[in-house]
């Protein structure tokens, strides 16, 4: 459906949990976040009903995220349920990759349409430092296996000053050697993230162009997101830039978010939203009407430049 600014909303990011097996420094404090009581987390039946209502409104593409979606018990059951929903065109997932490998067989069978794997460095020690708990090897194995299974695999990378700027070229070469896309995401001032540490994508692009001056805009469609893609001739895979801070893409925003607690957020940036559970209890008609209302009032643009207005929940709670 169209929102109040005439944008087509056809994509929903669903956070299935606020829990995570890692503690990435820009996303979660060392001690983790205050866990939401399980009774407040939406059950799979509830998520499926919300998806059905969303599909009726023209939202037919879904991304499963978290926290870490794969820490949620029996996530495959939810994905199977979603796959059966009439009108559901696309299901993708974003994961840190630590627990992914054992699920790839089943994900292939379910017919997942794509997996984005977060990877900010290829240096084991640095990966451990950044994620506090992660084992780089596990994520690399998952990347390899995901590609082997024929799943559309992409890497997501955040570049931070004085931390992993020197990883950029290595990561680009790694992704392109495997024939997959890599996307650089600008660090947003959400939750505990210190946006001062984030590096603009303009700078990252400059760094890549120093090594690959022949990099050219790639106009082909790569997904549902706001990334602008570039190609290096002779290489498979593209390099995407998601530049929420320095190159706002709000005028073409196509999404809403559902948190694990059933909070629908029409924009990542603001805390504003609606708890959907009461409408689930009322009935399907009321549920659809509530979603419609939320979409109609989706804000025109984010406000990351005005930090006081930005949602202070951790990215893992909101669902990145
Ligand atoms: N745990 C999964 C993962 O890491 O891919 C899914 C959830 S995570 C919140 C989704 C994405 O959000 C990751 O690629 C992560 O790097 C990114 N992210 C986390 N905090 C961010 C921030 N402040 N600004 C921009 N991206 C952020
Ligand atoms: Fe967990 Fe993903 Fe946040 Fe890292 S970015 S702490 S893996 S939710």
User: What's CA 254's distance to the chain center, in Å?
Assistant: 14
Per-residue exposure over 274-302, b if at least 16 CB sit within 10 Å of its own CB, e if not: bebbebbeeeeeebbebbeebbeebbeeb
Closest atom of ligand 1 to 188 CA is: 24
Nearest protein CA to atom 4 of ligand 2, as residue? 24
Q: What are the distances in angstroms from CA 242 to CA 6, 139, 171, 215?
A: 22, 22, 16, 17
CA dist., res. 207 & res. 199, Å (int): 11
CA dist., res. 220 & res. 230, Å (int): 10
CA dist., res. 72 & res. 76, Å (int): 9
Backbone torsions φ then ψ of 274, nearest 5 degrees: -140, 135
pLDDT tens for the chain, 320 residues: list them: 999 999 999 999 999 999 999 999 999 999 888 888 889 999 999 999 999 999 999 999 999 999 999 999 999 999 999 999 999 999 999 999 999 999 999 999 999 999 999 999 999 999 999 999 999 999 999 999 999 999 999 999 999 999 999 999 999 999 999 999 999 999 998 888 887 889 999 999 999 999 999 999 998 888 777 889 999 999 999 999 998 887 778 888 999 999 999 999 999 888 889 999 999 999 999 999 999 999 998 988 887 776 666 777 767 777 76
Q: Residue 158: how many CB atoms within 10 A of its CB? A: 24
Q: Which fold has domain 11-318?
A: TIM Barrel (3.20.20)
Q: What's the pLDDT at 138?
A: 98
Closest atom of ligand 2 to 21 CA is: 1
User: What's CA 169's distance to the chain center, in Å?
Assistant: 22
Nearest protein CA to atom 11 of ligand 1, as residue? 320
Q: What's the pLDDT at 308?
A: 66
Residue 53 CA to ligand 1 centre (angstroms) = 27
Q: What's the pLDDT at 307?
A: 65
Q: What's the pLDDT at 304?
A: 76
CA dist., res. 14 & res. 12, Å (int): 6
Cβ–ligand 2 distance for 120 under 6 Å, the answer no
Query: Considering every ligand atom, which ligand is closest to the CA of 193?
Result: 1
């Amino acid at each position: 459906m169209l929102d109040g600014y005439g944008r087509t909303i056809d994509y929903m990011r669903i956070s299935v949990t606020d829990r995570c097996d890692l503690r990435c420094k820009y996303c979660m404090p060392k001690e983790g976040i205050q866990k939401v009581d399980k009774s407040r987390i939406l059950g799979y039946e509830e998520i499926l009903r919300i998806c059905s209502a969303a599909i009726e409104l023209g939202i037919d593409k879904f991304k499963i995220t978290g926290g870490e979606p794969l820490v949620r018990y029996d996530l495959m059951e939810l994905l199977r349920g979603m796959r059966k929903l009439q009108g559901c065109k696309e299901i993708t997932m974003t994961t840190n990759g630590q627990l992914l490998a054992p699920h790839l067989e089943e994900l292939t069978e379910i017919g997942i349409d794509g997996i984005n794997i977060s990877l900010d460095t290829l240096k084991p020690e640095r990966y451990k430092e950044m994620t506090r708990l992660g084992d780089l090897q596990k994520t690399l194995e998952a990347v390899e296996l995901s590609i082997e299974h024929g799943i559309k695999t992409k890497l997501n990378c955040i570049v931070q000053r004085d931390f992993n700027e020197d990883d950029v070229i290595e990561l680009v070469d790694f992704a392109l050697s495997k024939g997959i896309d890599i996307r650089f995401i600008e660090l947003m001032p959400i939750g505990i993230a210190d946006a001062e540490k984030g590096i603009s994508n303009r700078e990252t692009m400059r760094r890549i162009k120093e090594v690959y001056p022949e990099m050219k805009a790639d106009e082909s469609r790569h997904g549902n997101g706001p990334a602008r893609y570039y190609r290096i001739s002779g290489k498979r895979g593209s390099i995407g830039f998601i530049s929420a801070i320095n190159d706002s893409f709000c005028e073409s925003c196509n999404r809403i978010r559902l948190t694990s607690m059933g909070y629908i957020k029409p924009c990542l940036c603001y805390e504003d939203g609606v708890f959907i559970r009461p409408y689930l209890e009322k009935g399907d008609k009321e549920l659809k009407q509530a979603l419609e209302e939320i979409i109609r009032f989706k804000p025109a643009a984010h406000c990351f430049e005005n930090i006081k207005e930005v949602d202070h929940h951790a990215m893992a709670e909101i669902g990145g």
